[in-house]
Structure 1
């Protein structure tokens, strides 16, 4: 806990504001049912009510409170974001450790697979896989994780290739340390800061990707994520020729943008604090 506090103290003002923003959104997701007096999935007023009159951010075309939808949507968007990021970072990290330490033919095969995935345009492939697997939160996480593990795998591999030449690793190998012992005892703790930065970065990427899939109608139609709210708003006939976009479209887009920007700034701050070379330059 003390180490975490020391890391936070080294953040810039922008980094601290980003952390506060992220914490507030997480709290909003946890206490979503308590923050709104209206349900997120049932009509509680007239259709397309402007903000005010008991509805903090207005209502959509079905009369469902928009604030309640945004609060509950925080759960879905953060669940998909962190779920995808943790799965991709841990899976990619383990693959990178194995590839970098074992080397040889397995390393060459893994690197060719990574090269192929990296040159394929991400979003069209996400759309194709999401359409094939069907709309559900689990399928969205699987699709996003399948296309997100390559970056942490490449970074961790290069780090492990450098670490395995260190003297203490050579000494451990001389004394008969097994591969699994070296991976769990030495390599994973050494690359964990890199994985932590990648988890934050991949979370923002996954939230944006999920919003894009939901915007195209390929997300879970029952999830009420921020992307799905935007999808329903933009699908409304004449949305841009009315004042409805000022609350129905603007507010979910604004919270989505703020969260993604906060994650981007936070990942940059973590990378700067954990990398001495970047800290010196700053």
Structure 2
């Protein structure tokens, strides 16, 4: 654990070397995190109960206006950031944990387990994931837990491939072979040697998976397959686009635009931060390493 802690500290120090877009993206993510944490304090009105006239434009006590039920849109976006972050981080954690373990097993054992796992990964890659997500989400029912499980099921292959390739390289190193000679077991090698070395790349992949999961959840919610009580950004967009005549009126200027901007800012910021961390973690990209 000390090795991983050291890597995290060096990653935090490495944030000083981010490019300007990377620093802006990191600041944007931090602001959205604060928005989610402080939602009960910065949202003046309820995000579930009507607090004003329906379809009220921004102003007059409602900084971003209201929806067709008179519910404050700023409150919905604040609380919706919690849902989007929960789905994104939960999916990324499950996918990285499961995929990382599968990749370590495949890379270390080799032989027929590796072949079976790689064929399964190949099948998962060529499958049309989003249509299957729609089918599974409709079958399991609309809840945040089900959405996280469905998204993680289609996301574990990416950290698995990265982890496997790293383990294949690491198990040829002299210090790993020496540890095996002295009787080190698979668990010891995984915890002491493999995990600290693959953690930076898996962590970078987790950030990328977070953005992917947020977009996928928004897509499922947009199609009406999200949790109807969650008030996620995708669900707000779904309600706005389902309103008859939304594009022939000025309502879209706040009801549709603001949640879309929040969603795009979060996903784009995650993509930029992921790129910066990948540049630092992978020496082949010309950046610094967490070593």
Aligned partners of 1:277 and 1:7: how far apart in 2? 17
- State the shift of 1:276 in Å: 2.1
Number of residue equivalences: 281
Structure 1 residue ranges without an equivalent (≥5)? none
Give yes or no for the alignment of 1:275 onto 2:275. no
Give yes or no for the alignment of 1:157 onto 2:164. yes
Aligned partners of 1:126 and 1:172: how far apart in 2? 43
Which of 198, 204, 208 is 2:205 aligned to? 198
- Provide, for residues 140-180 of structure 1, a one-character-per-residue CA deviation record: whole Å limited to 9, x for no partner: 00000000000110111011001100000000000000011
- SS of corresponding position for 2:121: helix
Distance 1:280 1:77, change over 3 A: closer
- SS of corresponding position for 2:184: coil
- State the shift of 1:279 in Å: 2.5
Aligned partners of 1:5 and 1:70: how far apart in 2? 29
**What is the match of residue 134 of structure 1?**
141
- SS of corresponding position for 1:218: coil
- Provide, for residues 223-281 of structure 1, a one-character-per-residue CA deviation record: whole Å limited to 9, x for no partner: 00000000000000000000000000000000100100000000000000112221259
Preserved CA contact (<8 Å) 2:280 2:287: no
TM-score, scaled to structure 1:
0.98
Greater Cα offset, 223-232 or 102-111: 102-111
Distance 1:155 1:2, change over 3 A: closer
Distance 1:260 1:186, change over 3 A: same
Aligned partners of 1:75 and 1:280: how far apart in 2? 33
**What is the match of residue 146 of structure 1?**
153
Aligned partners of 1:271 and 1:76: how far apart in 2? 26
Give yes or no for the alignment of 1:78 onto 2:81. no
- Provide, for residues 182-234 of structure 1, a one-character-per-residue CA deviation record: whole Å limited to 9, x for no partner: 01110011000011101100000000000000000000000000000000000
- SS of corresponding position for 2:269: helix
- State the shift of 1:82 in Å: 0.5
**What is the match of residue 4 of structure 2?**
none
Aligned partners of 1:184 and 1:54: how far apart in 2? 54
Structure 2 residue ranges without an equivalent (≥5)? 1-7
**What is the match of residue 119 of structure 2?**
112
Aligned partners of 1:216 and 1:53: how far apart in 2? 32
Aligned partners of 1:280 and 1:37: how far apart in 2? 44
- Report the RMSD for the aligned CA atoms in angstroms: 1.1
Aligned partners of 2:274 and 2:136: how far apart in 1? 28
**What is the match of residue 65 of structure 1?**
72
Aligned partners of 1:140 and 1:280: how far apart in 2? 35
- SS of corresponding position for 2:74: helix
Aligned partners of 2:41 and 2:186: how far apart in 1? 49
Give yes or no for the alignment of 1:256 onto 2:286. no
